Amino acid sequence: MKKYFLTLIAFLLMTISAAYAGDWSKIKIGTEGAYPPWNGTNAAGELEGAEIDLVRDLCARMNAECELVAQDWDGIIPALQNGKYDAIMAGMSITEERMQVINFSQGYANEPASFSVLKSSSLAALGHSGKVNMDALDGKSKKLLNSLKKTLKGATVGVQGSTTHENFVKQVLGDSVTMKSYDTQENLELDLSVGRIDAALSDQGSMEKFMESDKGKKIVFIGPGLGGGPFGGGVGVGLRKNDTDLLKMFNKAIDGARADGTLAEHFTKWFGKDISM
Amino acid sequence: MNYELMIETFPKLLVGLNITIQLVSISLFVGFCFAIGLALLRLSNNLFLNFFAKTYVFYFRGTPLLVQIFLIYYGIAQFEFIRESFVWSFFKEPYWCAILALTLNTCAYSSEIIRGGIQSVSFGQIESAKSTGMSGFLLYRRIILPIAFRQALPAYGNEMILMVKATSLVSTITIMDITGIARLIIAKTFSPVEIFIVAGLIYLTINFIVTRLVNFCEIKLTPYLRRAN
C-alpha cells in the first residue's frame, strides 16, 4: 500500500515538473494589485499600473499567453515557489536576501525611497532634498543621513511589511524609532494621513500617487531620496531558481522593450516621469 | 519540512501569546457582561428596546468580523471631528480598536446564546419560584439566570473557541499577536508551512485548555446529567 502511494506521488511530481519544463507558451504572473502606480486595482476590480502594461508588452515579445494572479504581498514569494504562478512582477526590488531563495531578471525600473510626513507635523521642518546611495556613502550623504536620523528620533515610523523599506528602518534607524508594519502600502498611507504614525517610508512613486488624492494632499516628503544598500538594485522579475530558461526569455524581452523605448513609455505614463532602467 | 526552523520559531511565536490572551479575555469578559443586558432587552416587551437589540445582533452577526475591524480601525479615523476629539487617544491605538471590534462582535453572538438559555428555563421552574414569592430581580438572580447559564454553557464554549481563533484577524491592523509574528517570520524565511503549523499548534493548545475548562464547568454545574460510571 505504502509503495503504491509513493509511486503515485512520484508520478504526480513527474507530471507536474514535466508541465513546467520548456513549455512557456502560457505564463502565470503574480502581482499584488495594491501598490499603485506599479500595480493597482481600479474601481472595476481590474488590475492596472505600469507593471500590468509591462506584463502585456513582455508577454507579446515572448509569444506567451499571460495570466495575471493577484496575491497578497506577504505570501508572494512562497506562492511562486509553490507553483501558483511562474513569475513575480510586483515592484519587487532585487535584494541579496531574496536572491537566496529566488532568481531575478535584470532590473527594469528603479525608484528612490523617501520618508513622508504630514505637512502639519514638526518633522516636516527637515525639508526634502538630496540623494543618498547607501552603497557609496560619502561625507555629504552621511551628513544627510544623520540629520534624517536626528529628526526621526523617537518617532513612530510605518512601513509595508517584508519590504526593503522595513529592512532600512530596522538596520539604519533600529531602536531609535518605533516601527509599525502594514500589510499593504494603501493601509500605510491611510494611517499616515490620519496621524496614527509620524512618518512613513516608501518608494516615492507610490506615495506621490497618494499625494495627488484628497486624503494625501497634506503629506510631504522629508529628507533625501534613498537608494542602494538595503534598498537593493532596482526592481526586477522574480523567478524560481530552476527556471533559467524563463529567466533568459524575460531578460531578452526586457532588452527589447528598453531598446525601442516602450519600457520608458510605460513608466512615464503611470509615474509621470521615467523611472525605467 | 524544516524541523529546526519550527523549533526556533516556537519561542518567538510565544511572545505573541500574551497579546492573544489579553484580547480574548478582555473582549470575552466585557462582551459577556453586555450580552446579558442585550439578551434581556431582546426579551423585553418594550418594542423599542426589542428592536434595538434585534438590529444590533442583525448587523454584528451579519457582517464579517474582518470588515468590522477595518471599519473601526481605518473607517472611524477618517472623520476629522473624531481625530480632534478626546476619543482619538482611544481609536488611535490598534490595540483598543481590536478590543472594541472583538467585544462588539462577541456581544452579539453571546446575547443570542444567553437568550436561548433564558428561554429554555421551563415555565414550571419559574412558577414554583413565583409561588414562593420571588419576582423581578430576585427571580432572575436566583432561578432564571443560573439555569440559563447552565443550559447555554456548551454553546458559549463554542463561542469562546471561535473568539480565540478570531483574534488572529487583528494582525491585519499592525498588532503583533501570534499570527502577526508568524507572518513577520514567514516574510523573512519564506517558509509558510512550518511557521503556520507551529502557530496552529499554539492555537490548538489554547483551545484544548478552553475546551477542558468548559467541560469541567459543565460537569460541576450539571452533575445530575452525568452517566453513572
CATH of domain A2-110+233-271: 3.40.190.10
CA–CA distance from A107 to each of A65, A179, A240 (Å)? 22, 29, 16
> B48-73 b/e with 16+ CB inside 10 Å = b?
eeeeebeebbeebeeeebeebbbebb
What 3-state DSSP class applies to A29?
Answer: strand
This prediction has a pTM of 0.84
d(CA B51, CA B48): 5
Closest by Cα among A236, A267, A273, A231 to A253: A236
- Inter-chain residue contact B191 with A77, CB threshold 8 Å: no
* Residues in chain A within 8 Å Cβ distance of B190: 77-78, 81, 101
What 3-state DSSP class applies to A138?
Answer: coil
**Best A196, A197, A215 residue to mutate vs chain B (most B CBs within 10 Å):** A196
Closest by Cα among B201, B175, B148 to B72: B175
Whether the Cβ atoms of residue B165 and residue B203 lie closer than 8 Å to each other: yes
* Residues in chain A within 8 Å Cβ distance of B184: 161-162, 181
Each domain of chain A, given as residue ranges in start order, spans: 2-110+233-271, 113-231
Whether the Cβ atoms of residue B76 and residue B82 lie closer than 8 Å to each other: yes
Q: All 3 cell numbers of residue B20?
A: 492573544
ipTM over 0.90: no
Number of residue pairs across A and B with CB atoms under 8 Å? 38
Which CATH superfamily hosts domain B3-225?
Answer: MetI-like (1.10.3720.10)
d(CA B189, CA B8): 12
Q: Taking chain A, what is the end-to-end CA distance rounded to the nearest angstrom?
A: 56
Give B69's DSSP letter: H
* Residues in chain B within 8 Å Cβ distance of A195: 83, 92
d(CA A145, CA A227): 12
CA–CA distance from B61 to each of B103, B107, B153, B163 (Å)? 12, 10, 19, 13
Closest by Cα among B109, B120, B93 to B175: B93
Residuewise pLDDT in 10s, chain A (277 residues): 556 665 656 555 555 554 455 689 999 999 999 999 999 999 999 999 999 999 999 999 999 999 999 999 988 999 999 999 999 999 999 998 899 999 999 999 999 999 999 999 999 999 998 999 998 899 999 999 999 999 999 999 999 988 999 999 999 999 999 999 998 999 999 999 999 999 999 999 999 999 999 999 999 999 999 999 999 989 999 999 999 999 999 999 999 999 999 999 999 999 999 999 8
Question: Which of B74, B83, B186 faces A187 most closely, judged by CB atoms?
Answer: B74
- Inter-chain residue contact B186 with A75, CB threshold 8 Å: yes
Q: All 3 cell numbers of residue A94?
A: 532585487
- Inter-chain residue contact B191 with A78, CB threshold 8 Å: yes
Tell me yes or no: is domain A113-231 CATH 3.40.190.10.
Answer: yes
